[in-house]
Amino acid sequence: MRFPDNAGCAPIASPYGSPTRYDGSSRRTGGGPGSTHGGIDLTLAEGTPLLAVAAGTVFGHGTGGMMEGHYLWLLHLPQRSGLPFAFLTKYQHLAVRPTLPHGQEGSLGQEVARSGLTGTVGGHYGAAGYPHLHMTVRTILSDKVASTTSLESFSIVRDTIQVDPLVLYVPSLRVPEEAEDLPPERKKVVASYVDSKGSVQPPLARTVWPVACDLVR
């Protein structure tokens, strides 16, 4: 993943699949086998606006325990996002629990929450916690897309596949099955993003970085 020169985008502090946290400490400590990173982390000041990475709708929100905090799920169906597959995004450690109603529509790059450090205080990150966004992306199995209208008929664990969030920025990706094991070479893409004036760059992009660029100091 690269960013356009001088765009000032928040970099990834801990990538998907990483065995370590942003500070180099091991995720495997007490975590059991397979405790690698299930999303990407961006180190952000508390209150940083978080953007819909693609057009979609609110799918749910809540408050988890440690390592989750306040969270928000967005549903991105192809007819709204313009991407060739359906997927969910989850934003964690939010400053406050979102109040957006289920089904509320959000456009590409629209602010959907503010970053925080909920679910990080007093755990692996110490008493002060770690203000950051953890973002997870899960592609929805093709035959389960029709049942995404209600949480009752849909299982996030059974009906979706966790993937590297960077696959959203790979323009040539066709199917979710391809997203699961994308070779590192194909992830060497330039991120699309929202600039300081609120414009999507490049203008025809269908996904953006979850934080506007030029906002990072």
Contacting residues toward Zn ion, per CB under 5 A = 41, 134
Quick one: 81 or 136, whose CB is closer to Zn ion? 136
Least distance in Å: CB of 132 to Zn ion? 7
Least distance in Å: CB of 37 to Zn ion? 6
Least distance in Å: CB of 93 to Zn ion? 8
Amino acid 139 reads T
- SS3 of 136-173: the string is EEEEECHHHHHHCCCHHHCCHHHHEEEECHHHHHCCCC
Quick one: 16 or 154, whose CB is closer to Zn ion? 16
Tokens of 170: 């790979």
Least distance in Å: CB of 60 to Zn ion? 19
Alpha-carbon dihedral angle through residues 160, 163, 168, 171, given to the nearest 10 degrees: -100
Tokens of 97: 């629990």
Q: Is 16 left (phi over 0), alpha (psi -120 to 50) or beta?
A: beta
Quick one: 41 or 164, whose CB is closer to Zn ion? 41
Helix (H) or strand (E) holding 176: helix 176-180
Quick one: 131 or 200, whose CB is closer to Zn ion? 131
